[in-house]
Structure 1
């Protein structure tokens, strides 16, 4: 969240908070030169356009259109995700890490080391973690060099590798820039057997983003070699998923090696929303990816527009515990107009284009969806009820990294679901801070929003402060 001053004179800023707190020296910035001009015949152009059109028409087709006979999760080196034997599944969410800022100055590498320390401290304090979620803005792409922009991922995941934990990622707006591409970051991530991140929605030039996928979570009794309904034990009921985790790419940022002031669209692509609806709405046992109404959680970096309305209606410190310092809340499609134009390029006109409406509709129509978790606004950490019957919780996490804007205390939201709790559509959550303290302990259930919780204090930390 938050762009540094642009290193490229043809660009404006991304549609979010500006760092505004430091001057970033971007001299010696590496550029790619020497473009080749390729002469091709007009007939070949027609052929290419025809092939592109075919590819585009198929862009919303999921890479995994079949039932759960085989998924990246079931064939994963670490085996399928499963509940612990005590019937719980624990997710630790790290977000807004912002590695790679100003590597040529002392403070840049220092804050990356501090971020690793935060992750390590929290994982040690939460030993029951089943899965780590890296929920966007892993790297501050506009500050990175071409030759090593993806190498920061090695530092980010080192605490999980050291503890033999697996993780799943979404990418944020700062994970795409002139010297950093989502596809390169994904390729770097897939070097690690611990990574469960995958791509389930194909699109031309990855226009729909990369990190759109789901991961089923099975009972503890499900054999590690089976992992999915129909995979070796088609009739065994214990191998039906109890929980599904959805991950979405909210895109944004700038295009790799392209001098483009416009930037990329910053909302979940409509084709992804369509894929999501197909994955969750099928009632046919022969086409369903998993039983209709299976409890689920969703993760995305940039909040949907509904978050702004929830904030404007009031965040109660005891009924929605957390800090509420980023006002107004950011949202997908911020800075865009309905026709696809942009406010900052026009100078006036609109601040929100509504392009995330298909995604929000898909979320609202998903049976079994319990909560949506996002980041992007470093100064917000609350949860609030949303949806037709207020049965879905929209939740911020806690900014984890020492990169990016603001000096709010770093931490990570913890989410624990239990087999018993899923029957009641409830889950437990709290925020583990870098200080070791746990705050905002609450149960997201049918009485959330009415229950009274301890107020969360606005704590601050910074490098070199005490």
Structure 2
């Protein structure tokens, strides 16, 4: 038991250090003559400044960070520190205007604490410290129930650092986990740079469903340059699906904000749809070269449990240029599908399965004419898989 207590003491020190590991100078978000400002309406990303040729808006996608993985061991906090280094390196290299946290921000099934927002806050700290706005959505691990480690039962009791000895009713030791609603509420209420949004209540238990509008850097500030849709693909506390009612929400919302499909649209969620499986199998069966870029066959596509209409809606809208997902840590490919692209991000975090090199997918949006480009920036600074997704 003494050995276990020492281990918990070292973890406490590491977590305190973790709060201060990011040393960054806050600065105004300016890039290529553009300044990002948050308007009173939370779903607008207002880009002000020059609209000339060469102006661009850059987005970094951080996927599968898995903060809090094996939080009761020495290994877990080290991985969180490594993940912060990855994000810090990429943010400093790419200097993005916006960041998307693409799900599995934390590994809730490994967190024996009442409020997992502690680890969520650690995950967004590199972005927040640099004054970069961001948005997040949920993956299948973010609100998963706590799974009791078998090795805890080999000692006299569970670690006292998490369960006080005077616990009488068991409430302090219940580890019920933190719901999607609690995690999102904490992020929104305590971070003015967060553009994360709650979805309509009728979509519950799905939570992170919202749309952001990137406005054109013209003098007319009401001109959209692109719409970005965020969807909760489930997992954790409920099945891994994008439900029919979410699809209907997307249909109605897209017709409301972009009725004639004249403005480009991109979509983010965590768990790949069945269409990703279809694409991967088709590419594997071909002997000739394809238009796909990136790692295709490091592992099999782990798709949602069912397809409930979302992909059909997307293929029917010519304005949808690309879908971006995480979930599969060994895949970072982009492949054409119908009239759009299906893309993976890149495994960013040191938590979670696999030992593949870490990195992040970068998106670059330009206007006049509209262009959407993407590439992978690795932790070691190298670039690969550059691709034009729309022009």
TM beyond 0.5: yes
Equivalent position to 2:185, from 175, 184, 187:
187
What does 1:261-276 correspond to in 2, within 5 Å? 264-276=238-250
- CA deviations on 1:379-426 (whole Å, 9 max, x unpaired) are 111111112xxx21000010000000001110000011111342xxx4
Name the structure 1 match of 2:47. Answer: 82
Change (3 A) 1:306 1:84: farther
Contact 2:44 2:213 in 1 (8 A): no
Equivalent position to 2:76, from 108, 121, 126:
108
Change (3 A) 1:413 1:317: farther
**2:230 is the counterpart of 1:247:** yes
What does 1:6-155 correspond to in 2, within 5 Å? 74-75=39-40, 80-82=45-47, 85=50, 86-127=54-95, 129-155=96-122
Give distance in 1, aligned partners of 2:235 and 2:112.
19
- How many residue pairs get aligned? The number is 316
Equivalent position to 1:432, from 374, 377, 381:
377
- CA deviations on 1:295-316 (whole Å, 9 max, x unpaired) are 0110000001000010001168
Structure 2, unmatched stretches of 5+, are 1-37, 146-176
Change (3 A) 1:441 1:154: same
Secondary structure at 1:242 match in 2: strand
Give distance in 2, aligned partners of 1:173 and 1:432.
25
Give distance in 1, aligned partners of 2:335 and 2:81.
33
Give distance in 1, aligned partners of 2:89 and 2:100.
16
Name the structure 1 match of 2:211. Answer: 214
Secondary structure at 2:317 match in 1: coil
Per the TM alignment, residue 84 of structure 1 is displaced from its structure 2 partner at its CA by: 6.3
Per the TM alignment, residue 161 of structure 1 is displaced from its structure 2 partner at its CA by: 1.3
Secondary structure at 1:151 match in 2: helix
Name the structure 2 match of 1:300. Answer: 269
Give distance in 2, aligned partners of 1:248 and 1:382.
20
Give distance in 2, aligned partners of 1:81 and 1:362.
28
Give distance in 2, aligned partners of 1:169 and 1:184.
14
**2:314 is the counterpart of 1:363:** yes
Give distance in 1, aligned partners of 2:61 and 2:126.
14
Contact 2:267 2:322 in 1 (8 A): yes
**2:389 is the counterpart of 1:444:** yes
Give distance in 2, aligned partners of 1:438 and 1:93.
14
- CA deviations on 1:43-94 (whole Å, 9 max, x unpaired) are xxxxxxxxxxxxxxxxxxxxxxxxxxxxxx6415897332763431111000
Contact 1:140 1:174 in 2 (8 A): yes
- CA deviations on 1:123-146 (whole Å, 9 max, x unpaired) are 00001x121000000001100123
Change (3 A) 1:81 1:131: farther
Change (3 A) 1:219 1:152: same
- CA deviations on 1:286-335 (whole Å, 9 max, x unpaired) are xx3245211011000000100001000116887322112444211111xx
Contact 1:421 1:427 in 2 (8 A): no
TM-score, with normalisation over the residues of structure 1?
A: 0.64
Q: Root-mean-square deviation (CA), in Å?
A: 2.2
Give distance in 2, aligned partners of 1:77 and 1:359.
25
Give distance in 2, aligned partners of 1:77 and 1:363.
24
Per the TM alignment, residue 240 of structure 1 is displaced from its structure 2 partner at its CA by: 2.1
Contact 1:95 1:412 in 2 (8 A): yes
Contact 1:217 1:243 in 2 (8 A): yes
Name the structure 2 match of 1:199. Answer: 198
More helix by share: 2
Structure 1, unmatched stretches of 5+, are 1-72, 223-236, 255-263, 282-287, 334-353, 447-466
Contact 2:298 2:331 in 1 (8 A): yes
